Amino acid sequence: MSILNNIKWAAFSQLARIGSQIASVTLLARLLSPSDYGLLAIAAIFTNFAMLFRDFGTGSALIQRETLTDGLKASVFWLNMALGGLICLTLMVASPAVAHFYNAPTLVPVLCLMALSFPVACSSIVHQSLLERASQFKRIAAVESVAVVLALLAAVAAALAGWGVYALVAQTLVAAVVQGAMLWAMSDYRPAWRPRWDGLREISGYSGNVSAFQFVNYFARNADSFIIGKVLGSAVLGLYSVAYRLMLFPVQNISHVVARAVFPLLTQAHQQGGKGQMADVYLRSLSVITFGTAPVMAALWFFRDPTVAVVFGAKWAGAETLLAWLAPTGFIQSVLSTSGSAFLATGHAGLMLRYGVIGSVLQVASFAIGIHYGVVGLTQAYLIATVLNLLLTMSAVLRLLETGLPQLLRAVGFQVLAALTAGVLVWGGDRWIFGPAATSGHEGLWRLAAQYALFGACYLGVMAVLAPQKMASVKALFRNKLSRAS
């Protein structure tokens, strides 16, 4: 199975998820009240945290391990079922206290119903991991796409029937049930009734480090919002959150998709004993990621003023200043996001945890220092911390894969150069011909759309001149053929 084929189907699944989210907001926001969404948002605080513990990293361990026995698979399955049941029970028991704290009695049934999704979801973790291990991303894409569409239809029907917040709960439960049932149907695996618990010791170190990394990363990812909200207040946090979401969107929907698709291929290359092959797969995945993230982040940087003014309106003035620092941070994070796949594929989950802790300490320290200079100072410190984290982490990855900085620069350099060139040409040309950007009305919208369209065309044109082989790989993504990118 090729890199580009895996990426294609993982991207298809993600696009289905994004489309469902957009349709959900568009349709359900008209049928439900803000209080309904508020109740679900409160419940999500606890369910999202509980997600950190639903498999303790055992799914990644099944993908990475060279040899899998039936006993080990059964042990992981029943462990996950136990974890799902424990999380479900914990949320149900805690629901009255949560409802009392927020003075919202409806949270009790909402949390209890949401909790039921955990044992259902945990029942298919092994099945999904085995499909990913075999690079069966076409099947996974079909499962996830059908699940999100049926869940959306169920939520809309429930909202039309007047269910209120329970329409959103139904969306979560239907998605979990459909995805779980389809994964069981798509996979040949059936768990044994008598697991060998001693097999869990074989993966406990690896999976424990994965789980610990997820735990550390979760708090580092949320520290900025906590600090800004506490020190500067909700209004400033609102500006930051808008800019941060713009930055994070391509990281989540490009980098994480590619990393997920490439992980089993890196694992296979490692098992075959070829560091050269691993480095090749890793660098090609970086090339694909930065082909998307470099132009997106560059466009956000060059056109940040009209983007905020036209898309969000005058009341969000100030977010564009934050984007000036968050956009380069986002690009660097898109490169950093691949390091986990390299560490995990080579069995160095402990190394991933170590560098994850270092990165988290740098990140939280940057927030604590930068906040003294306002929210702009925080974003500047965030960028500095991200650069330091990149230098430390990528040096470890390159040593691990026995490759070097020249190869890394060759994988990402053309994309960065093309994105910056396109930005300078389009932004400079627009200012020279038309003057300051229009920031309101239809004129501003059409001008912004033209800027992004011209930027995209210019970027592709520069890439075609500088790196025709990389362009051939992108075309192969849609032709289902793999062309080697240098």
User: Per the structure, how many domains does the chain have?
Assistant: 2
Q: Would you say residue 484 lies in a domain?
A: no
% of the chain residues with pLDDT over 90: 36
pLDDT value of residue 482:
40
Q: In this structure, are 73 and 219 located in the same domain? A: no
Reading the block at residue 272, the tokens are 């075959």
Its domain, for residue 185, covers: 1-195
Q: Would you say residue 152 lies in a domain?
A: yes
Count Cβ atoms below 10 Å from residue 456 Cβ, excluding itself.
Answer: 15
**Residue ranges in the chain whose pLDDT is less than 70:** 1-7, 11, 22, 25-26, 195-199, 273-275, 437-441, 473-486
**Helix axes 165-186 and 107-115, enclosed angle (nearest 10):** 0
Q: Would you say residue 64 lies in a domain?
A: yes
Q: How far apart are CA 419 and CA 292, in angstroms?
A: 10
Q: In this structure, are 118 and 135 located in the same domain? A: yes
pLDDT value of residue 475:
63
Q: Would you say residue 37 lies in a domain?
A: yes
Q: In this structure, are 243 and 162 located in the same domain? A: no
Which among 132, 167, 195 is the end of a domain?
195
Q: In this structure, are 148 and 226 located in the same domain? A: no
Count Cβ atoms below 10 Å from residue 443 Cβ, excluding itself.
Answer: 12
Which among 169, 195, 221 is the end of a domain?
195
Q: In this structure, are 25 and 81 located in the same domain? A: yes
Q: In this structure, are 67 and 92 located in the same domain? A: yes
Q: How far apart are CA 316 and CA 238, in angstroms?
A: 9
Q: In this structure, are 376 and 352 located in the same domain? A: yes
Q: In this structure, are 218 and 163 located in the same domain? A: no
pLDDT value of residue 91:
95
Q: Are 307 and 439 in contact (CB under 8 A)?
A: no
**Helix axes 70-102 and 125-133, enclosed angle (nearest 10):** 130
Residues 111-135: tens digit of each pLDDT: 999 999 999 999 999 998 888 888 7
Reading the block at residue 186, the tokens are 């798509």
pTM of the full predicted structure?
0.79
